[in-house]
Amino acid sequence: MTESPLPFALPDLGEAEIEAVTDAIRSGWVSSGPQVKAFEDEFAALCGDGVTAVTVNSATAGLHLALEAIGIGPGDEVLVPTWTFTATAEVVRYLGAEPVLVDVDPRTFNIDLGAAAAAVTPRTRAIMPVHFAGLPVSPSALRDFAVTHGVRVVEDAAHALPAAAEGEMVGSGASDATVFSFYATKTITTGEGGMVVSRNAEVTDRIKVMRLHGISRDAFDRYRSSVPSWQYEVIAPGYKYNLTDPAAAMGRVQLARAREMRDRRAAIAARYDEAFADTDLQLPDHGPEGTLHAWHLYVVRVPQGDDRDGFIRAMSERGIGTSVHFIPLHKHPYWRDRGALTDDQFPQASAEFERVVSLPVFSSMTDAQVERVVEAVTALRSA
């Protein structure tokens, strides 16, 4: 009997999430309400004392609002790694500013801070590092960069819950904002959604206003306050970026399971490390001793000059889904043509892109599914 296809990624959802969403709907709060507030409080507690968390309906919205809150606008430049999803750069354009793409470290795929330093100009206002695959950028190196060059920091932590480096949880540090994603395939999910965290009250206060039309009081606040609900003020031209209570209810259950699900992904990654040690693949970096890797992705590399796409096809023929993270931004027509960008401007990203394959590493994978991946990869790549 033919085995059913194994997808590259699936959300890890159970009866507890279903019940939480159902209860939220039955409560009558189907937009932003008490579940959103509770989710924000619980997420902030995870990040540590002094952190405020603000829900949004996507990480893209969160990145946009974070940049708006720190005053990014026309004429400004923001440093962005070319090795990322387009959302990281496109939000800069939303504000009329210019994303300046820079190369990445070929070991980690995280932003190369040396390349970023070389790209700084008098117009550079911020840097947006991406914690690729769940491996954190060094927080101390990032702080040093920000101080040296006088720039603001917004972290794209879409892959990095929970993750830590140098004893710091991603989201607990001194950056102006850190943005997490709760998309369907992320480390926790609300279907669609995101969270912005910061220790800067000016940033979080601005985001709270701008996520809902620039109104001074959100709906939950208006309907639970003694001040009449119809009384509010529009203080800025905001957006419609709020999260719903059913989504937040799902997120609260997922958040309580975040470490458990991370540990399962780490166990899968360890099994892959062991099984693929004798293949011709280059295995992913784990970071320095003490790093907590979120293992959102498990990215291997075929030898230079090898047929990466042929490997992907062969895995598909065995019923196993894979992906490629990422097609560097400088290779996409919009970014390439807008900046007249070429591969030789990004030698590391351009070379490594030809080699990378992401293997399934989602927390609801069974041991049997993991072994299917192991058997397929070792059959195809044994040295």
258-381 under CATH 3.30.565.10, yes or no = no
Is the pLDDT at 310 greater than 50, yes or no?
yes
Cα dist from 206 to 4, 170, 216, 276, 297, whole Å: 48, 22, 10, 48, 33
**Taking the model in full, what pTM does it have?**
0.97
Q: How is residue 1 written in tokens?
A: 């009997």
Q: How far is CA 54 from the centre of its chain?
A: 16
Q: What is the mean pLDDT of residues 85-114?
A: 98
Q: Which two tokens stand for residue 184?
A: 């369907």
Instruction: Determine which helix (DSSP H) or strand (DSSP E) holds 39, and give its type and residue range.
Output: helix 34-47
pLDDT, one tens digit per residue, over 195-247 is 999 999 999 999 999 999 999 877 666 556 556 677 889 999 999 999 999 99
Residue 1, pLDDT score: 42
Residue pLDDT, tens place only, 129-172: 999 999 999 999 999 999 999 999 999 999 999 999 999 999 99
The per-residue pLDDT of the chain, averaged, comes to: 96
With H, G, I as helix, E, B as strand and everything else as coil, classify residue 234: strand
Residue range 292-301: mean pLDDT, rounded: 98
Q: Matching CATH topology for 15-256 and 258-381?
A: no
Among residues of the chain, what percentage have pLDDT more than 70? Answer: 97
103-125 pLDDT per residue, tens: 999 999 999 999 999 999 999 99
Residues involved in catalysis? 186
Domain ranges of the chain: 15-256, 258-381
What is 148-180 written as a DSSP string? HHT-EEEEE-TT-TT-EETTEETTSSSSSEEEE
According to DSSP, the β-strands at 177-181 and 194-198 are antiparallel
- Residue 80 structure tokens: 């962005």
Kindly report, residue by residue over 322-376, the tens digit of the pLDDT: 999 999 999 999 999 999 999 999 999 999 999 999 999 999 999 999 999 999 9
Tell me, what's the pLDDT at 231? Answer: 82
Distances (CA, A) of 242 to 33, 165, 178, 327: 10, 30, 17, 30
pLDDT at 162: 98
Which class is 15-256 in CATH? alpha beta
Residue 15 has pLDDT above 70, yes or no: yes
Q: Which two tokens stand for residue 359?
A: 């293997």
Q: Are 136 and 287 in contact (CB under 8 A)?
A: yes
Q: What is the pLDDT of residue 3?
A: 83
Q: Are 74 and 207 in contact (CB under 8 A)?
A: no
> Where are any strands of DSSP class E within 157-277?
164-165, 168-169, 177-181, 194-198
